[in-house]
Structure 1
Amino acid sequence: MTGKIPKYFINELLSLTDIVELIKSRLILKKCGKNYQTHCPFHNEKTPSFTVSYEKQFYYCFGCYAHGNAIDFLINYERLNFIESIEELSIMHGMTIPFENTQDNFFYVKKQKLYLLMNQLCKLYQKNIILDNSANEYLFKRDINNTMISTFLIGFASFNWNIFCKKIHINKKLEEDLLVYNILSINKKGYKYDVFQGRITFPIQDQNGRIIAFGGRSINNFLPKYLNSQETDIFCKRKQIYGLYQVKKKFSKPKYLLVVEGYIDVISLTQYNINYAVSCLGTSITIEHIQILFQNTNTIICCYDGDTAGKNAAWNTLKKALPYISDAKTIKFMLLPNNEDPDTIIRKEGKEKFQIRIDNAITMSNFFFTHMLTNINLSSIDNKFYLSKRALPLINTIASDTIRIYLRQKLARMIGILDDNQFEKFLYEQEIKKIQKPEFYIKRTPMRILIALLIQNPDLAIIAPPIKKLKKIKIKGLYIFLEILQICLDYPKIKTGQILEFYRNTNINNILKMLSRWDHMIVQEEIQNMFLDLLTNIYDKILEERQEYLIAQERTIGLTMTEKKEIWSINKKLSNNKNFSKNNTHNTQKN
């Protein structure tokens, strides 16, 4: 485990986190025995194989072998790094991370300071918009009501920083902090200025509602018309979606997300009770955006202008989205009339007609082939070959077998191959079969089984006999077992997921994860007996090695009185252990 954050803190975070609730807030889980199941979010599958254990605080997919604790889930599902996942859990539980490393602590404190400054600045902008007539006139003309101003925390940055400071009463300490963190700038003449001066401000919020940046729209049309904050330690444009926080406050799992281009579009649609609108900050959609959108809904509807530029933007979006489409997740397209955007058209048509446009959005397959057939003459053999050459590589990026085969068959009929089996045979001969990487395998040994039982059932530690004498014995794997045993004794309520966290970034991490999910094919009631039997066998092995050494000594140089007593004691212990094992086996068979 990393040394940058204390082990005790990570262990405490995991003990406070219920992995079932964490995953349930992102996926739909169904109770299955004592565990929970759902379709795996990390690979395409028809039958649910993703299992979450409350008892072990651990998840595992029997299809793609994805596995881990709450931290691993956040890393893999939310695409966070280790420290970001710890920060996410810390926010959930209202805790502050006590970094051991000074540099990391500085970085963490810097981020917290940025969150604080962004929040303070947001409140100042909000206060300013109430006082500024020009800003109010602009919002009045755009027909944005007070409810939307409050919901989206809309504000205004004055044309002059000094006037803004006096009007809002900004103190010198805050001004200095804004300069230090490059939120406020100084020009060549030494004048302080706000990059958003003369702009309506739209705070950009992360999934926890924290303000991480701003978008700005000029009210007198000076260029650029729209502007975003520069990227910082808390803001990465390609990973943020405007309006998602507001949507998620209303719907934990929205039926769809309507992706539009601008801040005003999102706000206007929300004002007309189209409560699923989000925006990619006025930039082209990225792969990260698509991943985040699909994490929050099963259907993405992208809204673009109906002109050539809009259709090309939609096509680029589809190409990026194809690898993430599955039987459960799809993308659609809504093309608006020329010279219209969501803000203008909903004000002309109203909610009902706009909703009809959403309901009639173009499906992924229809849009795919409509675009592919542009300027294609299917009566030409060369055009058919050209179509096949362009379409097949894109179709093959789709993970879903069902969708991939459907699109292939549709393509086959377009180019004149009416026998679906013949076409699939052709494809089989042309492609290299995907071979699923087998799971890492290790041989089962008594020591590994013993470690596996302890990881899976940490409460077994309390029935283990004293271990002090074993620490000097050299048996492969014994040191690891004793170390895990001590962890279990030090943390009596520890779970499987917490134990594994102690070994993150170690060379035995993968082996321990595998042992944590070994199926021992024995009923729960017999796990204690099996654990004690294995321990007894290890003790016997140690005693037998000592016994053999003493016997060899007796034959060569003889034994002292102390050594004779020791060999007698060993014989007695071995005899008692054998009787214990026989009785234990007899009782097990009897039961």
Structure 2
Amino acid sequence: MSEKIPKYFINDLLCRTNIVDVIDSRIKLKKKGKNYQTHCPFHNDKTPSFTVSYEKQFYYCFGCNIHGNVIDFLINYEHLNFVESIEELSFMHGLSIPFEKNFIPEKNDYFKKQKLYLLTNQISKLYEKNLMLTSSAYDYLIHRGISKSMIEFFCIGFSSFTWDLFFQKLHIKKELETDLLNNKIISINKKKKIYDPFQGRITFPIHDKYGRTIGFGGRTIKEILPKYINSAETNIFYKSKQIYGLYQVKKKHLKPKYLLVVEGYIDVIMLTQNKIDYVVSSLGTSITKEQIKILFRNTNTVIYCYDGDDAGRNAAWRTLKITLPYISDEKTIKFIMLPENEDPDTIIKKEGSKNFQLRIKNALTLSKFFFKNILKGIDLSSSDDKFYLSAHALPLINSIPSDTIRIYLRQILGRTIGILDDYQFEKFLHQKTQKNKILQYKNKPTLMRTLIGLLIQNPNLSNLVNSTKQFKNSKIKGIPIFLEILKTCLEHPSFNTGQLLEFYRNSKIIHILKTLSTLDHMIVEEKIQNVFLDLLKSVYKKDLEKRQEHLISKERIYGLTINEKEEIWSINKKLKNSE
């Protein structure tokens, strides 16, 4: 119970939050009628099938069927867990989460995170101040060509060679030192001496999208290995999920046309200094799936620019293979191949900004880079080599979700090895037709599915139900769920669809409710109430008919009691009146 967030607070958050604003800040929405539409961010969407309803505070994709409220969107889009999505919404509204009674703040993840945000920000400020007090560190950055304005823009700092020197020079309070130790930002070695993992290093703060310091990269100013280190992972810092410099890019470009990915911190800083202000780093040469998703959430075109050595070239190919499953008709990648033993920092100093811009303009497209690399060492006059090529290329090509790009690359491969496949489009169209038929069959509406679906999508319909007594002993499948939803809607008259689904998030029926919440009933809005009432009557009539059939069957075999005869007479009368 110590970790539980009260339902009233979650409901209040949903009342305060406009799902349209949250989604529009991440994906550009276009008004269409009373709803909003865009291309679905969760699948390769050729026509806008992702719909967001302000009225229902609910989103739904007619292509891949993903759906939910604003909490579900953050979970699916930002890859957060439930509690993290609540934290995100709370932060947006400047609220603190009121946990239920008997919780211990020191043991609660939320409070641990807030403490870490505070401490990492405090030590970042200390590092920045220390840099200005340490001539050797400051001179190192100036020697590397980094300007004072960039030092300030990226909040660059320095950690002294010993903690004692750092502690005394900056007049750090003992209370802060204790907090830093308790949160493992600094440590005690075997000799019982306090040390900072970044001691003797230039520090590069890593910020989240809100500008909060969550961790650091560190670069030694002496010949000490490793040259670069990163913060250890904490509740707020996961290296595989962070992009260095993205916060700074977003300060200048809310929706950058493209993002240029480089390897190092200084690469990012030097290119930014040279007016190329859409540069980020993946905190090393090995990019992760989570980082690729973050990049594509912020731009449609990612350009990779790794160092011009074997490690950089290998990293570029490895990155291509990891990125392929996230390519779509809108989302694509390019590659800049630097000269031997050059990196972005050195090449821009030699060539200048204009020449580097030309490299960006002439970056290799996905297809050119793919075949340039996969054809290395291949003898196209050899049948064995052709077989080897197709065996290695096809699995990579098939991992691309975009049908158009996948077919295009297959055609290039076919021409390369001398095999032309003219039936791909016909096959593709046939598969699409069959898939649509299966979906239509699966989503075929029934009486109860339509009734429950209408209620979930329009909770205010509950006000039309005067009594539920007639359904008390009903045997119709789905009636218990309908009555349960009806009861909740009547108890919470202000609920919209998003809030209703949130209420049942952890219940056994949530999957049924989510499915029914997305049904397209093909009913014009003005007639929804009448259809709902007609369905109620139809369900009641169907219930009566079932009871009637049971009693008639019983009469033929066993006969009926006086009460049962009166009941069948009453049923007959009700059915006649309903005609």
Q: With structure 2 as the length reference, what TM-score do the two structures score?
A: 0.89
Structure 2 equivalent of residue 223 of structure 1 = 225
Q: Percent identity?
A: 64
Equivalent AA in structure 2 for residue 98 of structure 1: P
Write the distance in 2 (CA, Å) between the matches of 1:307 and 1:110: 42
Which segment drifts farther, 168-177 or 482-491? 482-491
> What is the CA distance between 1:76 and its match in structure 2?
1.4
Equivalent AA in structure 2 for residue 488 of structure 1: C
Among 339, 343, 346, which residue is 2:345 paired with?
343
Aligned residues: 566
Alignment pair present for 1:372 and 2:357: no
Among 167, 172, 175, which residue is 2:174 paired with?
172
> What is the CA distance between 1:228 and its match in structure 2?
0.5
Counterparts of 1:99-248 in structure 2 under 5 Å? 99-100=99-100, 102=103, 106-248=108-250
> What is the CA distance between 1:121 and its match in structure 2?
1.0
Which segment drifts farther, 92-101 or 266-275? 92-101
Structure 1 equivalent of residue 251 of structure 2 = 249
Write the distance in 1 (CA, Å) between the matches of 2:456 and 2:522: 16
Structure 1 equivalent of residue 530 of structure 2 = 529
Structure 1 equivalent of residue 32 of structure 2 = 32
Structure 1 equivalent of residue 449 of structure 2 = 448
SS at structure 2 position matched to 1:9: helix
> What is the CA distance between 1:385 and its match in structure 2?
2.0
SS at structure 1 position matched to 2:119: helix
Structure 2 equivalent of residue 508 of structure 1 = 509
Write the distance in 2 (CA, Å) between the matches of 1:47 and 1:274: 33
Distance of aligned partners of 1:333 and 1:578 in 2 relative to their CA distance in 1, 3 Å threshold:
same
Alignment pair present for 1:78 and 2:90: no
> What is the CA distance between 1:306 and its match in structure 2?
2.6
Q: Deviations over 1:96-131 (max 9, x none)?
A: 222348479712211211111111111111222222
Write the distance in 2 (CA, Å) between the matches of 1:49 and 1:546: 44
Equivalent AA in structure 1 for residue 11 of structure 2: N
Structure 2 equivalent of residue 355 of structure 1 = 357
Distance of aligned partners of 1:446 and 1:374 in 2 relative to their CA distance in 1, 3 Å threshold:
closer
Q: Deviations over 1:479-537 (max 9, x none)?
A: 43333233333433321111111122322212111221223333222222222333455
> What is the CA distance between 1:567 and its match in structure 2?
12
SS at structure 1 position matched to 2:364: coil
Structure 2 equivalent of residue 482 of structure 1 = 483
Write the distance in 1 (CA, Å) between the matches of 2:342 and 2:468: 76
Structure 2 equivalent of residue 457 of structure 1 = 458
Structure 2 equivalent of residue 17 of structure 1 = 17
Distance of aligned partners of 1:123 and 1:442 in 2 relative to their CA distance in 1, 3 Å threshold:
same
Contact 1:25/1:252 (8 A) holds in 2: no
Distance of aligned partners of 1:486 and 1:399 in 2 relative to their CA distance in 1, 3 Å threshold:
same
> What is the CA distance between 1:476 and its match in structure 2?
4.5
Counterparts of 1:416-431 in structure 2 under 5 Å? 416-417=418-419, 419-421=420-422, 424=424
> Any stretches of 5+ residues in structure 1 without a counterpart?
583-591
Distance of aligned partners of 1:436 and 1:192 in 2 relative to their CA distance in 1, 3 Å threshold:
farther
Distance of aligned partners of 1:212 and 1:481 in 2 relative to their CA distance in 1, 3 Å threshold:
same
Counterparts of 1:504-583 in structure 2 under 5 Å? 504-536=505-537
RMSD of aligned alpha carbons: 3.4
Distance of aligned partners of 1:557 and 1:420 in 2 relative to their CA distance in 1, 3 Å threshold:
closer
Write the distance in 1 (CA, Å) between the matches of 2:337 and 2:207: 28
Structure 1 equivalent of residue 291 of structure 2 = 289
Contact 1:471/1:479 (8 A) holds in 2: no
Distance of aligned partners of 1:467 and 1:381 in 2 relative to their CA distance in 1, 3 Å threshold:
closer
> What is the CA distance between 1:216 and its match in structure 2?
0.8
Contact 1:471/1:482 (8 A) holds in 2: no
> What is the CA distance between 1:141 and its match in structure 2?
1.1
> What is the CA distance between 1:84 and its match in structure 2?
1.6
Write the distance in 1 (CA, Å) between the matches of 2:513 and 2:208: 35
Write the distance in 2 (CA, Å) between the matches of 1:54 and 1:235: 34
Contact 1:114/1:234 (8 A) holds in 2: yes
Write the distance in 2 (CA, Å) between the matches of 1:365 and 1:453: 47
Write the distance in 1 (CA, Å) between the matches of 2:434 and 2:206: 43
Structure 1 equivalent of residue 63 of structure 2 = 63
Write the distance in 1 (CA, Å) between the matches of 2:561 and 2:142: 105
Q: Deviations over 1:256-283 (max 9, x none)?
A: 1100111111111111111110001124
Alignment pair present for 1:322 and 2:320: no
Q: With structure 1 as the length reference, what TM-score do the two structures score?
A: 0.87
Contact 1:126/1:155 (8 A) holds in 2: yes
Distance of aligned partners of 1:200 and 1:434 in 2 relative to their CA distance in 1, 3 Å threshold:
farther
SS at structure 1 position matched to 2:108: helix
> Any stretches of 5+ residues in structure 2 without a counterpart?
none
Distance of aligned partners of 1:435 and 1:171 in 2 relative to their CA distance in 1, 3 Å threshold:
farther
Write the distance in 2 (CA, Å) between the matches of 1:300 and 1:369: 19
SS at structure 2 position matched to 1:421: coil
Write the distance in 1 (CA, Å) between the matches of 2:214 and 2:246: 14
SS at structure 2 position matched to 1:338: coil
Q: Deviations over 1:340-359 (max 9, x none)?
A: 21112212222111111111
Q: Deviations over 1:46-85 (max 9, x none)?
A: 2221111112111111111111111111111112222222
> What is the CA distance between 1:173 and its match in structure 2?
1.4
Write the distance in 2 (CA, Å) between the matches of 1:519 and 1:286: 38
Structure 2 equivalent of residue 587 of structure 1 = none
Write the distance in 2 (CA, Å) between the matches of 1:507 and 1:558: 38
